[in-house]
Amino acid sequence: MILMQLNGLSKSFGAEEILANIKLEIKSNDRIAIVGRNGAGKSTLLKIMADELTYDEGELFKPKDLTIGYLSQHMSLESGKSIWDEMLEVYQHLLLQEQELRAIEKKMAEATDISSTHYEKLLHDYDKLQQAFQSEGGYTYESDIKAVLTGLNFQDYDYETPINELSGGQKTRLALGKLLLKKPALLILDEPTNHLDIDTLAWLENYLISYIGAVVIVSHDRYFLDKTVSIVYEISRHKTKKYHGSYSKFLEQKALDYEQELKEFEKQQTEIKKMEDFVQRNIVRASTTKRAQSRRKQLAKMDRIDKPLGDESSASFTFRVNRRSGNDVLKIDDLSFRYEDDSEDLFANVKLHVNRGERIALVGPNGVGKTTLLKTILGTLKPASGQVSLGTNVQIGYYDQEQANLTSSKTVLLELWDEYPTVNEKDIRTILGNFLFSGDDVLKLVHSLSGGEKARLALAKLMMQKANLLILDEPTNHLDIDSKEVLEAALIDFPGTIIFVSHDRYFINKITDQVAQMQRDGVTMYLGDYDYYTEKKEEEAELERLQQTAQAAQKTEDRKLSFKEEKQLQSEKRKKQRRIEELEETIEKLELEIEKLEEMMAEPDVYQDHEKALELTKETSSTKQRVEQLMEEWTVLQE
């Protein structure tokens, strides 16, 4: 089923054309990525699809009852409600149904003097409402809310926390969570991976893969796109082109298409040149004029192939070093950090040894202290304990994700030139041109730049430092995919050492040879790229699961053994009690016998009969001895 169709859509802002002749189709359960450079019009197109913006020309078809969920790039959930109450808003219709069910139950419980017909109607209404309640998730909505909040990393939060007390990133995550709970038929997401750590990204990928509905995504996270989409629309020079397959398949097909189109163009150009030369040579000759005229007509009628457009201009730069560092670049021993107002360490027991040429990706959940660790290495923050030691000739270059090292009141040109006043203006302009600041762009004020432009300017400053240890905090934030690829190429060829924090798993795979997983109580090293790290984490999780299974089985076995032992003990206890009772009964009988024997021995006839008296004496002595033995056994059993 087609959910939305765009035919010949165009959009301009004033004289600037943003989109032209856009064609796009969305079917049920499609997973679509819209890609293109920053400024290509991706967000504008999403806003048009979500009815947030009007279009100038073309047609947009969609069913009247189509439900659309739209997450804008800078969306934030502003609310005075608690986390739980805000999420519960999605299920207001179920809460009302639940109230109706309780009301009918109360009527049915109090129905003592109503007719059977009325009672049957109540039963029918109740059954119908209960079925609707169940099919719409009435018995699962609370677990659905908890699952989404846990997936978005709110499992450690008190759900009664007011939303207005949360950070901007947390509010954005909650806005995404509320949208996912609504489960619209068409989900439109503009940069949904912003503010998500790696574990949350993996959860969102799995959620979207199994989502019942169509999903349209704009994202610069190539790893995320590879995992989630099967159709790619590229916006280039205001138009769209459709590709089938993952993002990686799109890149392959795009390159193949360009090569094929270029060959066809060149082949046709060769044919045209031959025909034009023939016409030029033969148009005035009597013997060949007709053939020349025929060729001229062919040329006029020919459907000429436009020259395929290659990649649009990309930033171009390399990182060099002033001098080579020693082999030991950085040593961190038992490092801990605590903010002044906090009673607990943000992190502790951090140990790290970095050698020249290594590329270490620092990963971990948001809030674990990754940026703080980088600033502690730089010396801008002081650790609570432990030591940071830099090696010989180490020069640090730092990329700050907040671009705090940029002066907002300066122009782009002076931002670089003031740092390096001895460099010619022409050379500064050339460097800025390599970072896509050309002509009057260099006279823009820094505060007026977009996020991507500020990122490129910060990278330009970093490049000019020629440091041999690069410490990078989220260097791919705000960069479009092409700029990321240029940065990757520059870092791959960098002759120094790199320590970086990034949530871009594709970027981590390209750059790193080691992954350092940061926890509150230290750092665990994995000698490989991101995919190797995830494999090892899965192995560890599987091993832990097997150990837990084995432990559970052992506990079960122990319980079985304990049960058997208990049964045996109970059996032995019962046997012991029965033996005690037997002994007491026997002793009692024997004591009665002894009394009778002693009475007989006191009779005159017996004690005067020597043989008879001796016989009774022996029997009495033997019986007493028997009683003593039984008493000893009874005493032992009683202990």
Taking CA atoms, 384 is separated from 337, 343, 345, 350, 391, in Å, by: 5, 12, 8, 12, 22
pTM greater than 0.85 (yes/no): no
Antiparallel, parallel or unpaired: β 31-35 and 57-61? unpaired
The segments of the chain whose pLDDT lies below 50 read none
Of the candidates 433, 6, 69, the one whose C-alpha atom is nearest the C-alpha of residue 216 is 69
**What pLDDT does 175 receive?**
92
Whole-angstrom distance, CA of residue 202 vs CA of residue 624: 86
Q: Which residues contact 88 (CB under 8 A, 6 or more apart)?
A: 95, 145
pLDDT tens sequence across 407-454: 889 999 999 999 899 999 999 999 998 888 888 889 999 998 888 889
pLDDT at residue 620, rounded to an integer: 84
* Alpha carbons 404 and 476: distance in angstroms, whole number: 16
DSSP codes, 101-146: HHHHHHHHHT-SSS-HHHHHHHHHHHHHHHHHHHHTTTTTHHHHHH
**pLDDT number for residue 556:** 74
**What pLDDT score does 561 carry?**
64
Confidence at residue 638, expressed as pLDDT on a 0 to 100 scale = 81
Q: Which residues pair with 236 in a beta bridge?
A: 239
For residue 305, the model assigns a pLDDT of: 81
Alpha-carbon distance of 312 to 235, in angstroms, equals 12
Give me the pLDDT at residue 319, please: 92
Name the phi and psi angles at 356, rounded to 5: -60, 135
Q: What local confidence, expressed as pLDDT, does residue 499 receive?
A: 97
| Phi, psi values for residue 435, rounded to 5° | -100, 25
Residue 284 is predicted with a pLDDT of 66
Nearest-10 Cα torsion for 543, 546, 548, 554: -140
